[in-house]
Amino acid sequence: MTQPVIPIRNIYFMLTYAWNHLQDAKLVNLDAVPGNSLLNILGHVLNKSVLYLSRRGFELGYCHHTEIISGIKGRVNFAQSLHGFHLMKGKTVSTFDELTPNTLANKIIKTTLTTLVKQNNLDQRIREEARSIRARMLDINEIVLSPRYFDQVQTLSNNRYYKFIISICKLINENTIINQKDGSYRFYDFERDERKMSLLYQDFLYRFCKNELQNVKTKRSYLEWNAYSESDPSLSFLPRMETDITLCHNNKCLIVDAKYYKSIFANRKSTHKFHSANLYQLMSYLMTYNPKYDVKTSGLLLYPQVGTAVKHRYNINGFDIGLYTIDLDQEWEDIHQDLLTLLRECLE
């Protein structure tokens, strides 16, 4: 079975939607990117974005700095000053805040440029540009990156464009594989990973609905089980039910389940049938969903198109259910328009 065909550039746009940074991504021209490689796109965007920051000026932050100085500055460590006989020379060991570009965000960016330069399958022009940009970041240190740093910088940096760049850095580092034998670096082509692409597809659709559907409330609904148990009164062992997307408009709610598969059909005795588990899951959501107001609830299973387009509607147990595909192998503007038309049609 073939994978859903999605051009690399469209995967990049899906990523920027999922990060909620589509407008920032459009500031970079992708026409100059060589080849059909997500790593080249990410490297090109990172280079151009960091160049933009350097021209505008890297963000500055206060960092604690301790050194032996003449006189007094900040907080004096008298014990160390006395122990080193510095006071006799008119000096102190002082700790003070210094305004510097050596912030966590800038450290992550510089370290990621180093990771980019070491990639085996990176275009040479992008590599040389990354090396040149990194060389200009003289007052910024590199660090050993770990996931916790990316969590920290998201709360510390209020600059929207910085957050976009940090998202690119995180993706590059998360998908870089280091060969322990020779120390070489290779970017993992996660677009071939069905699990990772499934998560991206869900996040992209959610953010698309959130940003593009005007006057429609977009959320993820947490559904409660209609159940009780004497042995597990809190129902803590039951799996959590959460919709991928719940769209509410006027007196109608649409529960959207985003499914990313190599094929939307399962073969049963040489006949094609929709995956039963997907339909059962959506039916469970519809039968459990309990809106506060009297609204009509319907469902949509939305798959990326593989081969022939699919557009079927059914009425199952009183619920209107659509099973549709969206063609992601077309120009982004066409994907945008097709999705809007499809979702609005289901909300009518």
User: pLDDT tens, 82-91?
Assistant: 666 566 666 7
Tell whether the model's pLDDT for residue 327 goes beyond 80.
yes
User: Over pLDDT 70: what percentage of the chain?
Assistant: 87
Q: For position 100, what pLDDT does the model report? A: 83
Res 155 pLDDT > 60:
no
Mean of pLDDT values over 139-155: 87
pLDDT given at position 3:
66
Question: What confidence score (pLDDT) does residue 329 get?
Answer: 92
Q: Taking residues 303-319, what's their average pLDDT?
A: 90
With a cut of 90, say whether residue 81 has pLDDT above it: no
User: Quick one: pLDDT at residue 268?
Assistant: 64
Whether residue 59 is predicted with pLDDT greater than 70 in this model: the reply is yes
pLDDT at residue 302, rounded to an integer: 95
Nearest to 223 by CA among 291, 176, 123: 291
pLDDT value at residue 111: 96
Res. 210 pLDDT band, cuts 50 70 90 = very high
Taking 90 as the threshold, does the pLDDT of residue 18 lie above it? yes
In angstroms, rounded to a whole number, what is the distance separating the alpha carbons of residues 221 and 331? Answer: 32
Model confidence at 1, pLDDT cuts 50, 70, 90, reads very low
Mean pLDDT of the 187-205 span: 88
List, in order, residues 6 or more apart from 269 with CB less than 8 Å away: none
8 Å CB contact between 323 and 227: no
Q: Which two tokens stand for residue 318?
A: 């009183």
Residue 289, pLDDT score: 87
Lowest mean pLDDT among 148-157, 226-235, 291-300: 148-157
Q: What does the pLDDT read at residue 314?
A: 94
Q: Which of 22-26, 108-112, 215-219 has the lowest mean pLDDT?
A: 22-26
Rounded mean pLDDT, 285-299 = 84
**Which has the closest alpha carbon to 161: 336, 332, 19?**
19
Are the CB atoms for 127 and 42 separated by under 8 Å? no
Identify the pLDDT of residue 335.
Answer: 95
At 31 the pLDDT is: 83
Contact 108, 122 (CB under 8 A): no
Alpha helices by DSSP H, listed for the chain, are 8-18, 22-25, 38-56, 78-83, 104-117, 124-135, 147-156, 160-174, 194-212, 276-288, 332-347
The pairing of strands 217-219 and 245-249 is antiparallel
Look up tokens 């659709």; give the residue.
Answer: 205
Q: What is the pLDDT of residues 163-185, one digit of tens each?
A: 999 999 999 999 998 887 777 88
Instruction: Return mean pLDDT, the chain.
Output: 86
Segment 186-191 mean pLDDT: 83
